[in-house]
Amino acid sequence: MTNISTRRSAMTLFSSPTCTKSHCARFVLLEKGIVADVEYYDPTDPPEDLIELNPNGISPTLIERDLVLYDSRIIMEYLDERFPHPPLHPMDPVSRATARMLIKRIDQDWYQLLEEILSSGEKKSARTKKLLRESIISVTPVFGARPFFMSEEFSMVDCVVAPLLWRLPSVGIETSSLNDTINNYALKIFNRPAFRHSLSDAEKEMNEILK
């Protein structure tokens, strides 16, 4: 069995190739230019060396020497603090706390609906798809008010929003059913080199906008 300390780099991110929140963590890694191994695996059959350190085999799991983290939002926060440049959170405490609350709200309002869609059948998910689509459209002014999501600069919030928007066509919410303001925002983020490189092969098939 390979010991984690013998890996090619001091940091390894174990990631499902399709998990939305794992995608967020990969996006942060690449935006910050962090040198790390990204190891894709099937969450239903996690590798032995991951199970040894995280018995639940949860995706994503970040391992750096003796540190093991397995909550995507905690991983993202850790990476931003561990590698402070460029910062993805605002520097002042009030703005930083506001951004964290916004991410929590996105998780509760949008990610929860996405998880319901992914875990239910086509007929049962129709109402949930409608709710998610309408919820995203309802904040159209936010997408258009500033260059990035409620920010003048690219931030951690964009790293949370973009992987969710990327998956909409794959769950039956076509981008044509949104509007130009949201689509223009999405395309701007999708075209960032870090986002493009964060996509697994399976994720590339979820949206044809970059093909």
Known catalytic residues are: 19
Tell me the torsion sign for CA atoms 84, 86, 91, 93: negative
- Residues 25, 31: Cα–Cα separation, whole Å: 10
**Distance between start and end Cα atoms, the chain:** 39
Tell me the torsion sign for CA atoms 194, 199, 205, 206: negative
Distance set, CA 141 to CA 138, 163, 167, 181 (Å): 8, 20, 21, 8
Neighbours of 33 (CB within 10 A): 10
- Residues 167, 49: Cα–Cα separation, whole Å: 30
Distance set, CA 58 to CA 45, 63, 70, 79 (Å): 11, 12, 6, 18
